[in-house]
Amino acid sequence: MSTPEEHCRRYFRDLCKVSQRCRSNKPTKERGDFAEGCWRPLVYGDMLPIGLSNTQTIVYFICQRFAQESAMGKRFGSKHTHFGTLYDTALRSPVLSLVKMTTVGDQTWPETDYFIEHGLVENKSNMLWFFRRPKKGMLTLADLDRCHDDQSCDVGLRQILPQDYREPGDSQYTPTHLIWPELMPPSPAPRLSTFTMTNMAPLISTLFSEWHEAVRKVRRFAIEECGVPLVLDSNLKHLSELTSHRLNKSAMFVASGIIPSRDPVVTSGHDVQVPFLFWMAGCCVQQHSKLPAGTEPVSRTSGEAVYGSSDESQISSQTNISAFAVYLRNAPLSHVIAAPVLQLEILLQDSYKTKPTDPDVELFPGHESACGDLKNDGSKWFM
Mean local confidence (pLDDT), 282-300: 67
- Residue 280 in this model has a pLDDT that exceeds 70: yes
Least confident of 30-44, 198-212, 253-267: 30-44
- Residue 7 in this model has a pLDDT that exceeds 80: no
In this predicted structure, what is the pLDDT of residue 147?
Answer: 55
The pTM score is: 0.83
In this predicted structure, what is the pLDDT of residue 275?
Answer: 97
In this predicted structure, what is the pLDDT of residue 232?
Answer: 85
Strand partners, 298: 306
Residue 172 CB burial class (10 angstroms; 0-12, 13-18, ≥19): middle
User: What is the C-alpha end-to-end distance of the chain, expressed in Å?
Assistant: 59
- Residue 8 in this model has a pLDDT that exceeds 80: no
Which domains are assigned to the chain?
30-382 (3.40.570.10)
Mean local confidence (pLDDT), 164-170: 73
Q: Which residue has the higher pLDDT, 86 or 307?
A: 86
Residue 164 CB burial class (10 angstroms; 0-12, 13-18, ≥19): buried
Mean local confidence (pLDDT), 77-91: 95
d(CA 40, CA 34): 10
Mean of pLDDT over the chain: 82
In this predicted structure, what is the pLDDT of residue 133?
Answer: 57
Q: Which residue has the higher pLDDT, 22 or 208?
A: 208
Q: Which residue has the higher pLDDT, 202 or 26?
A: 202
pLDDT in tens, 309-353: 444 445 557 899 999 999 999 999 999 999 999 999 999 999 999
In this predicted structure, what is the pLDDT of residue 169?
Answer: 59
In this predicted structure, what is the pLDDT of residue 54?
Answer: 62
CB 38, CB 62: distance < 8 Å: no
- Residue 296 in this model has a pLDDT that exceeds 70: no
CB 64, CB 70: distance < 8 Å: no
d(CA 348, CA 356): 15
Least confident of 21-30, 187-196, 285-294: 21-30
In this predicted structure, what is the pLDDT of residue 126?
Answer: 45
Q: To the nearest whole percent, how much of the chain has pLDDT over 90?
A: 60
